[in-house]
Amino acid sequence: INISLLADYKEVFSGISHVEEVAFNALSFIWNPNEEAKVYIGINSLSTDFSSQKGVKGLPLNLQIDTYDFSTGTNRLIHRAAVQVKIFCDKGAERKMRDEDRKRSKRRGKTVIDSKSKSSSGTVLLEK
């Protein structure tokens, strides 16, 4: 993935300053916790990152945000948040939604069939 391109587009950031690329796929910026801050992240990938199935299942990536306190001069880590995001190749997300809808409708169909079957208060055992 490549998020470093966003460092060149300052207009996608709101409420933050001093945006700089500190490593490959790592950005640093300063924000005031008393004000709303927004960072829009774009993830670029190559089609070779996907196998035939990962386009449908999605490619899992981890996004981590560390918050440091620079006001005291100690640069102490005060919070770490992480989330897994999935990216899909072209048409992969649409295909995944379609497949999930099909699975749900099949499950609903089985439920309807089961609910229409006759019920009885007991089990009848027959001798052969």
Residue pair 40/19 in contact (Cβ under 8 Å)? The answer is: no
Q: What is the pLDDT of residue 72?
A: 79
**Degrees, nearest 5: CA angle 74-76-78:** 150
Counting as low any pLDDT under 50, the low residues of the chain are: 1-7
In the chain, where do the E strands start and end?
A: 13-14, 16-23, 26-31, 38-39, 59-69, 76-87
**What does pTM read for this prediction?**
0.51
Number of CB atoms found within 10 A of residue 89's CB: 19
pLDDT single digits (tens) 76-97? 899 999 999 888 776 656 677 7
Tell me the three state secondary structure of residue 75: coil
Residue pair 65/80 in contact (Cβ under 8 Å)? The answer is: yes
Measured in residues, the chain has a length of 128
- In DSSP terms, which residues pair with 20 in a beta bridge? 28
Q: What is the pLDDT of residue 81?
A: 92
Tell me the three state secondary structure of residue 20: strand
